[in-house]
Chain A
Amino acid sequence: NAGVTQTPKFRILKIGQSMTLQCTQDMNHNYMYWYRQDPGMGLKLIYYSVGAGITDKGEVPNGYNVSRSTTEDFPLRLELAAPSQTSVYFCASSYGVLDTGELFFGEGSRLTVL
C-alpha cells in the first residue's frame, strides 16, 4: 500500500517557467490537499478538493492551479514560477474533513525557483 505519492522530490526552476507537481493516493480518500511549508510558518493550505471534479482555494492559492479529474490524482500546477514559490510542498489526503479523518502526507517536493 503506497499511500500518498508525490513527484518529483526535488526540482529547480527558472523564474517564469511552469511545472506540475504530481500527487496520487491509493486509499480511496475523498479529500486531498496541497500545503506549502515555509520556515517558521508551519503548513499553509494552497488548494484542496473534496472529491473528483471539485476544488477550492485555501489560504495561499495565488500563483497555483489544481485539477481533480479522478479520486486518485490531484496535481498542482505552477504557471509562472516566482522566487516566492520556493518552498517544500506537501500533498495529503484524508477520508473526510468534517469527521475525524487524519491526514496522510506524501514525502514532500522541494522546489527552488532561481
Chain B
Amino acid sequence: ILNVEQSPQSLHVQEGDSTNFTCSFPSSNFYALHWYRWETAKSPEALFVMTLNGDEKKKGRISATLNTKEGYSYLYIKGSQPEDSATYLCAFNGNKLVFGAGTILRVKS
C-alpha cells in the first residue's frame, strides 16, 4: 500500500501571510507528483504536475518544489488571500495515482 502523507492537516492564516505545506511520498517507482486545489462544493483542479527531481513550478503566488530522492514536495503560497482558502491535495504517480488526505487552508481577511 502506497503511503502519501500531507502535513499539516489544516492551517489557518491571516490575509497576507505566506504559507507552505508538505507532501511525502515513496522515493521509488516515481513517475510524477501532482498538486490539486479543491474548493468546497467544486471538483479538484490541477495546479502542477512535476516529474523531475529538483523541479520548481510557479503559477502566480503559488509555487512548488520537488525532491524525488528523499520523497517530498513543498507547496508555497505567497501573500495568502481569502480566495486561496481550499483543500490542497498532492497525488503520487507510481503507475497508479494515489492521493494524500489533503491540507485544508483557511485564510482570514
Find out whether the CB atom of B46 lies under 8 angstroms from the CB atom of A42.
no
Q: With A33-B97, A59-B1, A59-B98 as known contacts, state yes or no: A98 contacts B31, CB within 8 Å.
A: yes
B85 at the interface (CB under 8 A from A): no
Q: Which of B11-19, B58-66, B67-75, B99-107 is near enough to bind chain A?
A: B99-107
Q: Considering the complex, give the chain A residue whose CB is closest to the CB of B89.
A: A42
B32 at the interface (CB under 8 A from A): yes
As a 0/1 sequence over residues 78 to 110 of chain A, the CB contacts with chain B under 8 angstroms (1 = contact) are 000000000000100000011111111111100
Q: How many A-B residue pairs have CB under 8 A?
A: 57
Choice from A100, A105, A107, A108 contacting B49 with Cβ under 8 Å: A100
B-facing residues in A29-52 (Cβ within 8 Å): 33, 35, 40-45, 48
Most buried by B among A90, A102, A107: A102
- Nearest CB of chain A from residue B50's CB, rounded to whole Å: 8
How would you classify the secondary structure of chain A's contact residues: helix, strand, loop or mixed?
loop
Q: With A102-B46, A103-B44 as known contacts, state yes or no: A97 contacts B99, CB within 8 Å.
A: no
- Nearest CB of chain A from residue B47's CB, rounded to whole Å: 9
Chain B hits for A102, CB < 8 A: 34, 46, 49
Chain B hits for A99, CB < 8 A: 31-32
Find out whether the CB atom of B43 lies under 8 angstroms from the CB atom of A48.
no
Find out whether the CB atom of A103 lies under 8 angstroms from the CB atom of B102.
no
Chain A hits for B49, CB < 8 A: 100-102
Chain A hits for B95, CB < 8 A: 97-98
The 7 tightest CB contacts between A and B, nearest first, are A102-B46, A105-B43, A42-B101, A43-B99, A42-B99, A100-B49, A42-B102
Q: Which residues of A contact B (CB under 8 A)?
A: 33, 35, 40-45, 48, 58-59, 90, 97-108
A-B contact pairs, 21 of them (CB 8 A): A33-B97, A41-B101, A42-B100, A43-B44, A43-B91, A43-B99, A45-B97, A45-B99, A59-B98, A97-B31, A97-B93, A98-B93, A98-B95, A100-B49, A100-B51, A102-B34, A102-B46, A103-B46, A105-B45, A107-B43, A108-B43
